[in-house]
Amino acid sequence: MDKNTTNAPSRTAGLKPPWQPGQSGNPTGKPKGTTDSVRARLRRFLRKNAPAQAVAKLRAAGVEIDDGTVAEVLADVLALKAMGGDVQAIKEVNAQTEEPLKQTTKLEGEINSNVTLSFKIIQPEPDAEPDDTNGESTGT
């Protein structure tokens, strides 16, 4: 007889689940509409007024402040760093303000007599623009 096959009952045999079918397994869990997620807390923080010292420092640098929120101050600081040549800041400004490039993949191949598909993926260089050789629109 196989070692893994036993006539012993399983450990859960005869036990009832702690809840009925259709009933929540976590009835006192997080209520709907609760906004204590990290994202919600950060959004509330970004809407608050920035410290006066930070606003004054930006104004002294010639930055025009509109509403003085934390979000505005952070965006202005990021823009100033980018204008100063900080590559990470430039990348972040680009990521936050530009639409992502559509990645196109061109498949080439053939189906042989065994109906096996062989193909290779050709991707453009990271700095190259996508090649649209057939003139057709991909649509959005």
Higher pLDDT pick, 60 / 34 = 60
| Beta carbons of 93 and 80 less than 8 angstroms apart | no
Structural element, H or E, at residue 81: helix 70-83
106-134 pLDDT, tens digit each: 777 666 566 555 666 666 666 655 544 44
75-85 pLDDT, tens digit each: 999 999 999 99
Chain centroid, CA 2 distance in Å: 49
- Cα distance between residue 93 and residue 83, in whole Å: 10
**Of the ranges 21-25, 54-58, 125-129, which one carries the lowest mean pLDDT score?**
125-129
Rounded (5°) CA angle 99-102-107:
175
Structural element, H or E, at residue 103: none
| Beta carbons of 66 and 91 less than 8 angstroms apart | no
pLDDT band, very low/low/confident/very high, at 139 (cuts 50, 70, 90): very low
Name which of 72, 38, 37, 31 is nearest 55 in CA terms: 72
The pTM for the full model equals: 0.48
> What is the 8-class DSSP label of residue 136?
-
| Beta carbons of 74 and 65 less than 8 angstroms apart | no
